[in-house]
Chain A
């Protein structure tokens, strides 16, 4: 079941001076790709998701090929191979934390950049999930097989 990504601005939820910044609101099945932070009480322009069944670095590499620079893990552990200790301390299981994806929009970004991310991410997720044994098991479980 492909994720449904909807591009909507959530800037209105932030009392932020950075009005030109938006974060990406990803909707879909909560089990599959939840936002890992508070929905509104977080930094404007920053959004961290948990893309289940795939691993962060492979997402970053494919996004990099599309000209998108994002990170995985938490900001302070993005180079570590281990699941982020910040995310696991939040009670997120390590296998889920490995699929974390962090976007930080800054002063150089514009609306088109956000659109580019929102358009590019779903096919990347789909490509990696097609080769993920974890997603395979999840889908078989969903079908009762």
Chain B
């Protein structure tokens, strides 16, 4: 098993914001079970702000920790601020990820962005 930082272990052992939002404003799915990692993010948006963020993840310890960290970083942020959550920032907040696990932080940021895309597509469609 890879050696993870204390922060990764903390988020893996006690993941924040696990679950599903009923009637979410946006849903984003990234990854593929064939590759071993898959994340689904749910967002609730109020006044252009991510009022709630939840996730479900199939994957390794890093994938679960990344999902937890992304949800924590995104919660309460405006859409524009949440868009600025990059894989590098996620990895930095987690005090680093093993090189071969960095793709997990890509997945987390991408899944969140897809949820935002989904929200915007629905929002602008209905406006």
B20 contacts which chain A residues (CB < 8 A)? 136
Provide the A42-65 mask, 1 if CB < 8 A to any CB of B, else 0: 000000000001111110111011
**Stretch touching chain A among B28-36, B73-81, B82-90:** B28-36
> Would you call B38 and A133 a contact (CB within 8 A)?
yes
CB-defined contacts of B37 to chain A, threshold 8 Å: 55
Q: Which residues of B contact A3 (CB under 8 A)?
A: none
Question: Judging by beta carbons under 8 Å apart, are A131 and B15 in contact?
Answer: yes
> Do the beta carbons of A98 and B13 come within 8 Å of each other?
no
Q: Would you call B24 an interface residue if the criterion is a C-beta within 8 Å of the partner chain's C-beta atoms?
A: no
**A132 near B57 (CB under 8 angstroms)?**
yes
Instruction: Determine the distance from Cα of A65 to Cα of B9 in the docked complex, in whole angstroms.
Output: 11
Given contacts A81-B100, A131-B15, contact A136 B36 (CB under 8 A): no
Number of interface residues of A (CB under 8 A): 25
Q: Is B1 an interface residue when CB atoms closer than 8 A count as contact?
A: yes
A47 to B60, CA, bound (A): 22
A residues less than 8 Å from B15 (CB atoms): 131
Given contacts A58-B12, A65-B13, A133 and B58 within 8 Å (CB-CB): yes
Is residue A116 contacting chain B, with contact meaning CB distance below 8 A? no
For B6-48 the 0/1 string (1 means CB < 8 A from A) is 0000001101001110000000010001111111100000000
Q: Which 5 A-B pairs have the closest CB atoms?
A: A95-B33, A57-B60, A133-B56, A133-B40, A98-B36
Residues of A within 8 A of B (CB): 53-58, 60-62, 64-65, 81-83, 93-95, 98, 130-136
Q: List 16 A-B contacts (CB under 8 A).
A: A53-B58, A57-B1, A58-B61, A64-B1, A65-B13, A94-B33, A94-B35, A98-B36, A130-B18, A131-B55, A131-B56, A133-B57, A133-B58, A134-B33, A134-B38, A136-B56
